[in-house]
């Protein structure tokens, strides 16, 4: 008890208390929050307003005060889109971009990299509600949409087919990622949350095409997620994987380690003749 | 073991029992006489001579594991619905070849291990052949009388690559299908006859139904049989010519210093087989290779990022990626140069120049003598530098084959990499050539210096006047012999210069050819320094021993100075 009372005046006490309060309200909110599919219509005016304020502070510098996008003169006098318009991108895009830490963009580059999430879940919901209120767009997927554990074996196999036809060209067959022109890349899908897999398909960030519900139904999307997750969790049959990078890495391994070890043995054997000169 | 405990084989209990049957066999086959000669054949020793052995043993491992795989592999493109135990593919329609590969991997005991050993073995086989070839190249071991064995080696390397590629294509997974598609493109790019050859090879349009059974016959029967024959010829010629050796005390162009085949070399080689097998088994057991199940069955409409051929085809793939698009249409025929030149031309160039080099070199040097002593790389600077330049070029092509992986792993722009490699393909080899040649020549000079000024002992004298000087000790005779015995004296180039016309003014009809050869000769020998003459060395030795400095007292143990300047004493 004495400990607590002395620490009460610690300079971190206040921030810690605040963080705890935020966390609690966040958690409480998550429990009572309405199904996000309907959040768009139900989102209270106050939530949208809170989102707008957050947006003005954190995002407007690039996306414009009303999310209409900012076009500034790029290099060499070419017009460059500093931040695209967010009108109509929907809550799903905001959720995906912010929860994977891509937004707010820290540093401009060919592509926003995955990063730590900077905003709280609650703030993200608020901004999402604000962006969704601007124009209709894809909503955040529901719990049921991403419930991949309910998919049966047949569904997983079908998901594999969908994955190979639609995704491996960019993300590689084990989802290890791949390079795209101009320093861009399709990132690795390892450890990506199911909801972000879903939202990525729904919103098509960057070079990635949009897989709308007409192209891949919610059921198809769930099966794809199930396939990706199953394959990632089943472990590597056959030993340490080459990171899914395939033959290039294997070849390097054989040259450097395999041939290296064997040359070492050859040197060793060569040194030990029958008439050894060792004393 | 001292002599009095030694029992002759014939007198041992086992020997006595075996004498009957062995004698029976010998009476009929007469192997003893032939065996006596060949089993006592002497082989010299050096670690680099074992690279070829690595290739040989990995070939044996491939034969063993390959036979195991044939027991379950079904070489058919007939469609089946997968019912095996790998769940994420359950119920998917696929070819029997792919399904049976999945079965080998998941439902046959030890199948995955053997598959992985087989695949790692294939990578090692080609890598070891290539390393072995580089050893032979850089030491000049292909010189007369061993040119034919060099040609057999080139054949083995190319066939080994084809064998690996046919194997890689058998499982009919997405990656192997993509590889086949690449080769299909290569074939089709052959001007005029390309599409006919494609139809011939694939039995119709790509991919068709015929290709897997055909590849299978090539992979398990045709090519292994040819490989086996070539390996046999390679070994026979090796025994016939005797192995080359490094120059050293007691080693001349006429003898071979080393250990007899039986028992020493046999034991060593046999042991080495187990080491190679062991390393491959270890690789197969702990490192995944070609996980065909994650790639999925081949479907011409699918691709995967990071599609790659096995490393030995990476060079061709890389050249295709480097080549800018180029296509022409003449008289209704389309010529896809951007595929034909790098893929077909590139491989053709590599193997043609490999095959021709010994003959080109011989034409340039005019060297008709037999060589059984190896040449140190530094003593043939242009050969060594050309080799390094070729390796650099190969390396650039190889890197280009993995340009997407490099881009992804190092966060670089794939276009930038491609451009650097495009320019590098022409520039890096030139730089490598110049640098290597300079290094070789510096090393020659260094040898000359040690020959005429002795070893640097690392002992520093300070003179009364305050100057410092390092003492040198005369080179042991054996070292001096090793340094000089294989070195060729440089030819008198100036006196050989061909003339347009002789003294009487008659035109020399072969002038053009002779002068080309002369210019190549000048290029080949330019910069090289001759080794010091006998007089120079003797003079220097006198100087070392007598004169103003005391000869260094070198103990029995003194073995010279290591590269770091520390006296080597054991
Ligand atoms: C000379 C050397 C050989 C090389 C370089 C070689 C290479 C390969 C390669 C790279 C594969 C693909 C393996 C995979 O990852 O699935 C393969 C498959 C196969 N090889 Fe070989 N191989 C050789 C000799 C043999 C021999 C002698 C046999 C049989 C007598 C054989 C039988 C097979 C079979 C049946 C397969 C397909 C089974 C499977 O893919 O699981 N191979 N080979």
Paired tokens of A226? 């199930």
Distance from A238 to chain B by nearest Cα, in Å? 5
- Cα of B163 from ligand 1 centre, angstroms: 8
Q: Which residues pair with B245 in a beta bridge?
A: B373
Cβ <8 Å between A241 and B174:
no
Query: In chain A, which residues fall in CATH 1.10.760.10?
Result: 44-71+81-134, 148-235
Using DSSP's 3-state secondary structure scheme, residue B387 falls into helix
What gap in Å lies between CA B273 and CA B259, rounded to an integer? 18
Omega within 30 of 0 (cis) for the link into B457:
no
Paired tokens of A178? 């791949």
Q: How far is CA B429 from the centre of its chain?
A: 19
**Farthest CA pair distance, chain B:** 94
Q: What is the DSSP letter of B145?
A: T
Per-residue 3-state assignment (H helix, E strand, C coil) for B497-544: CCCCECCCCCECCCHHHHHHHHHHHHHHHCCCCCCCCHHHHHHHHHHH
Paired tokens of B17? 């029992």
The residue among A179, A207, A253, A278 with the most chain B CBs within 10 A of its CB, best to mutate, is A179
Cβ <8 Å between B48 and A245:
no
Q: Could you tell me the residue ranges of all domains in chain B?
A: 44-323
- Cα of B75 from ligand 1 centre, angstroms: 12
Closest CA to A224 of A156, A168, A174, A178: A156
Residue ranges of E strands in B431-518: 455-462, 468-473
Distance from B477 to chain A by nearest Cα, in Å? 18
Task: Check: CB of residue B118 under 8 Å from CB of residue B62.
Answer: yes
**E strand or H helix at B355:** helix B346-365
Q: CATH number for A44-71+81-134: choose from 2.40.50.140, 3.40.50.300, 1.10.760.10, 3.40.50.10860.
A: 1.10.760.10
Task: Check: CB of residue A207 under 8 Å from CB of residue A180.
Answer: yes
Chain A residue at shortest CA distance from B268: A269
Q: How far is CA A176 from the centre of its chain?
A: 13
**E strand or H helix at B206:** none
Task: Check: CB of residue B355 under 8 Å from CB of residue B133.
Answer: no
Residues A75-92 pLDDT 10s:
554 545 578 888 888 889
Residues B67-96 pLDDT 10s:
999 999 999 999 999 988 888 888 888 999
Q: Tell me what pLDDT residue A25 has.
A: 63
Q: Which residues pair with B43 in a beta bridge?
A: B259
Q: Which residues line ligand 1 (CB under 6 A)?
A: B 59, 62-63, 66-67, 69-70, 73, 101, 104, 115, 118-119, 122, 125, 160, 163-164, 167-168, 170-171, 219-220, 224, 227, 290
Using DSSP's 3-state secondary structure scheme, residue B334 falls into strand
Closest CA to B92 of A223, A154, A219: A154
Return the half-sphere exposure (C-beta side, CA atoms, 13 A cut-off) of residue B551. 12
The residue among B287, B295, B397 with the most chain A CBs within 10 A of its CB, best to mutate, is B287
Q: For tokens 């398990």, name the residue.
A: B220
Q: CATH number for B44-323: choose from 1.20.810.10, 1.10.1040.10, 1.20.120.530, 2.60.40.1180.
A: 1.20.810.10
Per-residue pLDDT of chain B (570 residues; tens, 9 = 90+): 444 566 777 778 887 888 888 888 888 887 777 777 777 777 777 888 889 999 999 999 999 999 999 999 999 999 999 988 888 888 888 999 999 999 999 999 999 999 999 999 999 999 999 999 999 999 999 998 999 999 999 999 999 999 999 999 999 998 888 888 888 888 888 888 888 898 888 888 888 888 999 999 999 999 999 999 999 999 999 988 888 888 887 787 778 887 777 677 778 888 899 999 999 999 999 888 888 888 889 887 777 777 778 888 888 888 988 888 887 888 777 777 888 888 888 899 999 999 999 999 999 988 888 888 888 999 999 999 999 999 999 999 988 988 888 887 777 888 888 899 999 999 999 999 999 999 999 999 888 888 877 777 777 778 788 888 777 777 777 778 888 877 878 888 777 788 877 778 788 888 888 888 888 988 898 888 888 877 777 777 666 654 455 555 555 555 655 655 565 554
b/e map of B159-191 (b: 16 or more CB within 10 Å)?
bbbbbbbbbbbbbbbbbbbbbbbbbbbbbbbbe
The stretches of B170-291 forming alpha helices (DSSP H) are 174-188, 194-202, 211-217, 223-241, 266-286
**Looking at domain A148-235, which CATH architecture does it have?**
Orthogonal Bundle (1.10)
Q: Which residues pair with B456 in a beta bridge?
A: B472
Residues B194-211 pLDDT 10s:
888 988 888 888 888 889
Task: Check: CB of residue B246 under 8 Å from CB of residue B172.
Answer: no
Paired tokens of A277? 């000169």
> Please, which residues 388-417 of chain B have a Cβ atom closer than 8 Å to chain A?
401-405, 407-409, 411-416
> Which atom, in ligand 1's list, is nearest to the CA of B290?
15
What gap in Å lies between CA B283 and CA A250, rounded to an integer? 10
In sequence order, what are the residues at sequence separation of 6 or more whose Cβ sits closer than 8 angstroms to the Cβ of residue B349?
none
Q: Tell me what pLDDT residue A252 has.
A: 85
Q: Tell me what pLDDT residue B354 has.
A: 95
B103 touches chain A (CB under 8 A): no
Residues of B in contact with A249 (CB under 8 A): 405
Say how many residues make up chain B. 570
Average pLDDT of span A248-270: 87
CB pairs under 8 A between A and B: 211
């Amino acid at each position: 008890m004495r400990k607590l009372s002395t620490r009460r005046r610690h300079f971190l006490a206040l921030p810690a208390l605040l963080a705890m309060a935020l966390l609690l309200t966040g958690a409480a909110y998550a429990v009572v929050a309405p199904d996000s599919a309907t959040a768009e219509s139900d989102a209270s005016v106050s939530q949208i307003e809170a989102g707008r304020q957050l947006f003005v502070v954190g995002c407007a510098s690039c996306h414009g005060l009303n999310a209409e996008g900012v076009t500034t003169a790029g290099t060499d006098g070419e017009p460059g889109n500093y931040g695209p318009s967010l009108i109509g991108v929907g809550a799903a895009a905001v959720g995906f971009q912010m929860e994977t830490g891509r937004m707010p963009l820290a540093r401009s580059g060919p592509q926003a990299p995955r990063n730590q999430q900077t905003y709280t879940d609650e703030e993200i919901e608020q901004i999402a509600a604000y962006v969704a209120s601007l124009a209709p767009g894809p909503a955040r997927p529901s719990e049921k949409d991403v419930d991949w554990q309910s998919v049966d074996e047949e569904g997983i196999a079908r998901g594999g087919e969908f994955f190979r036809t639609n995704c491996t060209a960019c993300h590689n067959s084990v989802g290890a990622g791949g390079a795209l022109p101009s320093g861009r890349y399709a990132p690795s899908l390892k450890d990506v949350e199911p909801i972000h897999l879903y939202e990525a398909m729904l919103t098509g960030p960057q070079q990635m095409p949009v897989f709308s519900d007409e192209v891949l139904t919610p059921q198809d999307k769930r099966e794809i997620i199930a396939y990706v997750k199953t394959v990632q969790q089943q472990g590597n049959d056959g030993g340490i994987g080459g990171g899914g990078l395939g033959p290039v890495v294997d070849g390097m391994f054989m040259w450097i380690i395999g041939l290296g070890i064997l040359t070492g043995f050859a040197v060793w054997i060569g040194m030990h003749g029958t008439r050894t000169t060792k004393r | 073991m001292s002599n009095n405990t030694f029992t002759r084989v014939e007198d041992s209990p086992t020997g006595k029992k075996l004498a009957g049957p062995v004698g029976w066999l010998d009476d009929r086959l007469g192997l003893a006489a032939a065996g006596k000669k060949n089993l006592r054949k002497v082989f010299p020793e050096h670690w680099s001579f074992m690279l070829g052995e690595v290739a040989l043993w990995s070939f044996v491992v491939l034969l063993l594991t390959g036979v195991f795989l044939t027991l379950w592999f079904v070489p058919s493109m007939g469609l089946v619905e997968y019912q095996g135990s790998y769940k994420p593919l359950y119920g998917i329609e696929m070819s029997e070849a792919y399904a049976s590969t999945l079965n080998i991997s998941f439902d046959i005991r030890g199948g995955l291990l053997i598959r992985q050993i087989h695949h790692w073995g294939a990578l090692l086989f080609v890598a070891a052949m290539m390393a072995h070839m580089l050893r032979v190249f850089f030491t000049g071991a292909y010189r007369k009388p061993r040119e034919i064995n060099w040609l057999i080696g080139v054949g083995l390397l190319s066939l080994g690559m084809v064998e690996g590629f046919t194997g890689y294509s058998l499982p009919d997974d997405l990656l192997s299908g993509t590889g086949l598609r690449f080769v299909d493109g290569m074939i089709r790019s052959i001007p005029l006859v390309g599409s006919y050859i494609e139809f011939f090879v694939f039995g119709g349009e790509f991919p068709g139904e015929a290709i897997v059974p055909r590849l299978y016959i090539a992979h398990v029967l045709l090519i292994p049989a040819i490989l086996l024959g070539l390996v046999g010829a390679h070994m026979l010629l090796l025994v016939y010519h005797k192995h080359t050796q490094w120059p050293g005390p007691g080693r001349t162009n006429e003898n071979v210093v080393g250990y007899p085949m039986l028992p020493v070399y046999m034991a060593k080689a046999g042991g080495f087989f187990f080491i190679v097998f062991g390393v491959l088994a270890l690789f197969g057991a702990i490192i995944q290779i070609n996980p065909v199940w994650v790639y999925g069955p081949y479907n011409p409409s699918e691709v995967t990022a990071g599609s790659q051929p096995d490393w030995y085809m990476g060079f061709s793939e890389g050249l295709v990626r480097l080549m800018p698009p180029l296509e022409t249409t003449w008289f209704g025929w389309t010529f896809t140069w951007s595929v034909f030149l790098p893929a077909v031309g590139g491989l053709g160039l590599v193997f043609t120049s490999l095959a021709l080099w010994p003959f080109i070199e011989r034409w340039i040097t005019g060297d008709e003598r037999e060589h059984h002593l190896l040449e140190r790389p530094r003593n043939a600077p242009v050969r060594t530098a050309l080799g390094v330049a070729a390796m650099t070029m190969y390396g650039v092509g190889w890197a280009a084959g993995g340009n997407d992986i490099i881009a992804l792993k190092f966060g670089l722009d794939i276009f930038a990499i491609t451009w650097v490699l495009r320019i590098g393909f022409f520039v890096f080899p030139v730089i490598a050539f110049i640098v290597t040649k300079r290094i070789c020549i510096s090393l020659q000079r260094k040898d000359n210096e040690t020959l005429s000024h002795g070893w640097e002992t690392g002992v520093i004298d300070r003179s009364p006047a305050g100057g410092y000087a390092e003492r040198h000790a005369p080179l042991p005779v054996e070292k001096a012999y090793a340094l000089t015995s294989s070195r060729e004296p440089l030819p008198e180039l100036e006196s050989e210069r061909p003339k347009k016309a002789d003294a009487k003014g008659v035109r020399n009809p072969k002038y053009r050819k002779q002068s080309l050869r002369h210019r190549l000769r000048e290029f080949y020998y330019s910069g090289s320094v001759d080794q010091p003459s006998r007089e120079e060395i003797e003079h220097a030795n006198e100087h070392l021993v007598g004169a103003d400095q005391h000869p260094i007292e070198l103990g029995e143990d003194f073995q010279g100075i290591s590269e770091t300047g520390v006296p080597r004493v054991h």
